[in-house]
Amino acid sequence: MNFSQFLYLTAIEWKSRKEHKIEIWFVEYKDTYYIMSELQKKADWVQNIMHNPRVSYTINDTKFKGTDRIVEQDKEPELTAEVSKLMSTKYGLNGRLDC
């Protein structure tokens, strides 16, 4: 389990095609990193991933490249429940998982 507070996600902005980096909370579950959006699909970074899922991210100075996907709560309720529980435990919050 990774105990860093933040994941630094770099995605390509779908309108400008420029790289954009954000600092965001995350959890690790079954060797996969998950992040959440309070704005759900309205968040700019979620829109960026929807248009181009290839991303890079950094955790504790370790860089990774990967492909993100949107996790749909109604299609994967067990996964979203587990990740939401982990987020709540790690950061003391409750929210929906949309990415």
Question: pTM of the entire structure?
Answer: 0.83
Domains, the chain, ordered by start: 6-91 (2.30.110.10)
Buried b (16+ CB within 10 A) or exposed e, 42-75: ebebbbbbeeeeebebbbeeeeeeeebeebeeee
From first to last of its 99 residues, the chain has per-residue pLDDT tens of 457 899 999 999 999 999 999 999 999 999 999 998 888 888 999 999 999 999 999 999 999 999 999 999 899 999 999 999 999 999 987 554 444
